[in-house]
Amino acid sequence: MKKDRETEAPEDFDVHDLPSVAERRSKATPKTVPEAVLRRLPRYFRILRGLFNADILRVSSDELSSHLGITASQLRQDMKYFDAEGQRGYGYSVKALYTSVSSLLGVSKKHTAAMVGAGNLGSAIASSMILEQRGVWLKGVFDVKAALIGKTVAGVPVRDAAELPDFCSANNIDILIICCDPGSAERAAELASGTGVRGIWNFSQYELQSEKTGVPTENVCTGDSLMNLIYEMSGKNENKTQI
């Protein structure tokens, strides 16, 4: 009983159209979400989005847990922190779960972003669906290279990096996306501080510390992932498969 469609299947669904948490019954969710559950949240999000978009209405702990590579028991423990109840004998509503995870993650809110670095990496991210799928609206792109200024990246004109602070202030930018070289990265983070930027998403090789930037900062350490791969390839972990 996989595809168990009820009424109309949402065709052009966007997570931002979902009912807000306040609109739904609250289970009086336990306060703090534990580290371990937090780490799994983005995977819950992706898997539930997949199920939702495939018009699957219900899912059992057994099935969903196998998608995640965890035990059904563990999944049911996780559910304590989700704002959605299951139904004994039937399972969980995919939509309720998806809504709950989305709002828990804060992904159902809209955010604005500015990007520093209009090179290959910046272009790749700006052109992908990653930003819009999570409610992030790229409002400005900046670079120091004169050759790039005036061109467009994913439809957004490239501006002189010197204009970054003013632009952030004027446009209420929430997120600074750093796609430039390590040297400029630190400077960009400094420039953005005090402009109202509330978070930094950093792709440069220069690792930024939230303690220094003063705002939540997420470093995308691509190289770490390559090292994990090489470790797995070395065959040293005879235990279970990593996730």
Which positions lie near DNA, rule CB under 7 A? 34-37, 60-62, 70-74, 76-77, 79-80, 85-92
| Residue 207 interface partner, choices DNA, its own copies, none, CB cut-off 5-8 Å depending on type | its own copies
Phi, psi of 87, rounded to the nearest 5 degrees: -125, 120
Beta bridge partners of 178: 116, 202
Place of tokens 């500015």: 114
Which CB, 15 or 59, lies closer to DNA? 59
| Residue 165 interface partner, choices its own copies, DNA, none, CB cut-off 5-8 Å depending on type | none
Shortest Å, Cβ 229 to DNA: 20
Shortest Å, Cβ 70 to DNA: 6
Which CB, 36 or 130, lies closer to DNA? 36
Please tell me what DSSP assigns to residue 91. Answer: B
| Residue 211 interface partner, choices its own copies, DNA, none, CB cut-off 5-8 Å depending on type | its own copies
Integer Cα distance of 33 and 44 in angstroms: 14
Which CB, 4 or 14, lies closer to its own copies? 14
Phi, psi of 111, rounded to the nearest 5 degrees: -135, 155
Shortest Å, Cβ 69 to DNA: 10
What residue spans of the chain are helical by DSSP H? 35-53, 61-68, 72-78, 94-105, 120-127, 130-133, 164-171, 182-192, 210-213, 222-233
